[in-house]
Amino acid sequence: MAARPHNTHPALVLLALSVGAFAIGTTEFAAMSLLPFFARDLGVDTPTASHAISAYALGVVAGAPVIAAFGARLPRRTLLIGLMAMFAIGNILSAFSPSYGWMLLFRFLSGLPHGAYFGVAALVAASLVPIEKRTQAIARVMSGLTIATVIGVPVANWMGQTLGWRSGFFVVAALAIATVTLVALYAPRDAGDPHASPMRELTALGKPQVWLTLLTGAIGFGGLFAVYTFVASTMIEVTHVSESWVPLILAIFGVGMTLGNLAAAWAADRALNRTVIGVLLWSAAALALFPLMAGNIWTLGLNIFLVGIGGGLGTPLQARLMDVAGEAQTLAAALHHSAFNVANAIGPWLGGLAIAAGYGLTSTGWIGAALALGGLAIFLCSIALDRRIARRVPLAVPCE
């Protein structure tokens, strides 16, 4: 790990990076709540407008590996500033969208820097502290995203209802510009890696452990999104409460996710693999309880809090990627967020299939539990592969 520059203030750097995470978290989740408003204004129905959410996710998946591979040689400070500037421009353009077609394009462009920003920010955060505290440093950056689900999303939604949906994207752009300023002021000045190249970064794709870790996130985290996507509909049609309860329950989810992120990071710095296993088991149990607790608003609120705690999976997996990626740190860290956006697509898709098949809105809990257990199975294969490499004996489990 590189030595920390003498003029670097870790707390200020982590604050600057977390503001960027707050901006990204706000736009990612608030866009879902603003969907009915821009759908009406742009003259499309709600299902069609939802493709703007998918366009952003596609931008994340496409942008993370490309930007990380070709930007690995740049100084990380410069790369972070450029990524946040690109993010600001994408959200400003989204706010000015004259038609639905342009909205799709601008949301795609807004998503391009998402994964690379989080990946590089995680590497910078980890470089500021001793290795035994790196996961907690990453968690402090990621806390910007989780706090966004508590504060940023409700505020953006309120502004969208009172000032128009375009104001929500302007707020996100302002946060991105603030991040550019803070990173320029406080992030450590590094010389970049002159030996980095797209080909070296692509070596990460040849490592089975990188793929297994990415798959753990893509499958295991999908369960959370399976429930979160349909929680508002479940509250209205199953719990039978008014729409006014929805922001409160979503905020409770955000509180659980924030606490889960911090707790999992603390545990991961002490026992990384056991923490990943524990979080996936927790998620499977919490998601399996969803159908049983959805009928009452109080038990539903408790369950959504427990499901939110399972959101702590992301930070330990980010640290795991740092361990298995070798020299291809930038690409692997960025791909982590591509994997989580794959989870954001898989979970709602499978949940929607279950609902369409007639199993009801609460069936998303069973789908979620199955995905969490699927992620656990993949991670156990990853651990088994570690042991095989260490002992150099044949692997007697079906993970070949």
The answer on 209 and 128 residing in a single domain is: no
- Residue-level pLDDT at 196: 58
The answer on 148 and 245 residing in a single domain is: no
Q: Are 46 and 25 in contact (CB under 8 A)?
A: no
User: Domain boundary at 142, 164, 196, which?
Assistant: 196
The parent domain of residue 395 ranges over 199-400
The answer on 251 and 386 residing in a single domain is: yes
pLDDT, averaged in runs of 10, over the chain (400 residues): 54 91 86 74 76 83 82 85 95 93 93 89 87 86 85 79 86 94 88 63 74 94 87 86 82 90 91 95 97 95 95 90 77 80 84 87 94 97 85 55
Look up tokens 């910007």; give the residue.
144
Q: Are 362 and 238 in contact (CB under 8 A)?
A: yes
Closest by CA position to 220, among listed 72, 347, 77, 372: 372
Q: How far is residue 88's CA from residue 336's CA, in Å, rounded to a whole number?
A: 22
The answer on 223 and 159 residing in a single domain is: no
Look up tokens 């998303």; give the residue.
364
- Residue-level pLDDT at 330: 73
The answer on 8 and 70 residing in a single domain is: yes
CATH number at residue 263: 1.20.1250.20
Domain count, the chain: 2
The answer on 99 and 5 residing in a single domain is: yes
The answer on 252 and 207 residing in a single domain is: yes
pTM for the complete prediction?
0.79
Per-residue tokens: 202: 């692509």
The answer on 263 and 158 residing in a single domain is: no
- Residue-level pLDDT at 394: 55
The answer on 277 and 192 residing in a single domain is: no
Look up tokens 């003498």; give the residue.
6
- Residue-level pLDDT at 6: 43
User: Domain boundary at 167, 196, 225, which?
Assistant: 196
The answer on 219 and 362 residing in a single domain is: yes
- Residue-level pLDDT at 2: 42
The answer on 387 and 242 residing in a single domain is: yes
User: Domain boundary at 144, 162, 196, which?
Assistant: 196
Q: How far is residue 19's CA from residue 144's CA, in Å, rounded to a whole number?
A: 6
For residue 284, what are the CA distances in angstroms to 223, 268, 307, 316?
8, 19, 9, 17
Q: H-type helices in the chain, by residue range?
A: 10-42, 46-49, 51-71, 76-95, 100-127, 134-147, 153-163, 165-186, 198-202, 208-220, 222-234, 246-268, 272-293, 297-309, 314-324, 329-354, 363-391
Per-residue tokens: 198: 């797209």
The answer on 233 and 371 residing in a single domain is: yes
